[in-house]
Amino acid sequence: MSTSKLKQRVVRHSPSRGAGSPDVWGIYEPDTGSIQYICADPSTKKAALIDVVWNFEPKNYRFTTESMDQVLDIVRDNGLTVAWVLDTHPHADHVMASAHLKDRTGAPTAIGDRIHDIAAIWANIYNLPDAFHPDRHFDRLLAEGETFRIGNLDVRVMLSPGHTLGSITYVCGDAAFTHDTLMQPDVGTSRADFPGGESAQLWDSIQDILALPADTRLFVGHDYGAEGRDEPMWEATVAEHKARNQHVKDGTAREDWIKRRDARDATLPLPDRILAALQINLRGGRLPQVEDDGHAYLKLPVNRF
């Protein structure tokens, strides 16, 4: 599913719980059901922006900046300074704002280092063998177990493949940004059928996330709503997921989940932005080079999917 049933823009603050715990703002983007995050050190006011959206309207192929503007307004209103612009993976359902945010804040961009492998897959799909250069498109490529800092807070990188083969989770104190692995407990888990994805890997990644301390706040990448709920949600603890996540709560058998996930994924269409988004996101959120008429163009594979 690529378009959210939840139409309102929502911002929520999840406050720091004390020493070593970040302030987190979640900003819901309704067109794609994406949640964008600000993760900030309360003591230094340094912040990371995570998975921010560059708004793209696929019917007319036009871009606007209201989501990144909204995120930067929250940064300003709370006296924060952007130290990092982070993405968890090259998104299929929205266009990343990373390059624009670097231009506007001066902060370095980062993503997982296995983006090299994702770029190779999609360079073949697009027949663009020399289009994507992650070492040039991002300032830092982060490996499994690598650490960096947001102010005085340590951030650890967990490789979390399955949705893509290079997805990563950022663990900052008692907060983990788990991208497209888990959905909210009343929804379940994310798809694993994109090129390079694999349900068995996603299961293992989810189990690693659920092995974090029980009170860890897990911040998911998307919410498309659930029966009986008309407000977007994106935060739940490890304990809450283990108790009531519809797909992976305690007692769920690995093979049963894989069978269920694969069957569900086989019914899902491609997100309506994927073929445009990946061509831009694998360039760090940049359009292809402008041609001699002053316009940029995207290449779309026909009858490939």
User: Which residues are paired to 150 by β-bridges?
Assistant: 153
Domain spans in the chain, listed from the N-terminal domain onward: 10-281
Of 152, 143, 64, 63, which is closest to residue 110 (Cα–Cα)?
143
Tokens representing residue 263 in the block: 């069957």
Task: Give the pLDDT confidence score for residue 2 in this predicted structure.
Answer: 40
Task: Give the pLDDT confidence score for residue 5 in this predicted structure.
Answer: 56
Which residue bears the tokens 């390079």?
A: 196
Task: Quote the CA–CA distance of 146 and 134 in Å, as a whole number.
Answer: 18
Task: Quote the CA–CA distance of 166 and 197 in Å, as a whole number.
Answer: 9
236 contacts 218 by C-beta, under 8 angstroms: yes
Per-residue pLDDT of the chain (305 residues; tens, 9 = 90+): 344 556 678 999 999 999 999 999 999 999 999 999 999 999 999 999 999 999 999 999 999 999 999 999 999 999 999 999 999 999 999 999 999 999 999 999 999 999 999 999 999 999 999 999 999 999 999 999 999 999 999 999 999 999 999 999 999 999 999 999 999 999 999 999 999 999 999 999 999 999 999 999 999 999 998 988 889 999 999 999 999 999 999 999 999 999 999 999 999 999 999 999 999 999 999 999 999 999 999 999 999 99
CA distances from 100 to 132, 283, 285 (A): 18, 12, 7
Of 98, 94, 120, 121, which is closest to residue 110 (Cα–Cα)?
98
Q: Cβ of 130: how many Cβ atoms within 10 Å?
A: 6
Task: Quote the CA–CA distance of 185 and 234 in Å, as a whole number.
Answer: 9
Tokens representing residue 113 in the block: 């280092």
Task: Quote the CA–CA distance of 258 and 44 in Å, as a whole number.
Answer: 43
Q: Which residues contact 226 (CB under 8 A, 6 or more apart)?
A: 184, 186, 187
* pTM attached to this predicted model: 0.96
97 contacts 68 by C-beta, under 8 angstroms: yes
CATH of 10-281, one of 3.60.15.10, 3.40.190.10, 1.10.10.10, 3.40.30.10: 3.60.15.10
User: Which residues are paired to 47 by β-bridges?
Assistant: 40, 82
CA distances from 225 to 32, 77, 137, 217, 233 (A): 12, 29, 34, 19, 8
**Torsion sign over Cα 70, 2, 189, 142:** negative
Residue 203 Rama label (left phi>0; alpha psi -120 to 50; beta): alpha
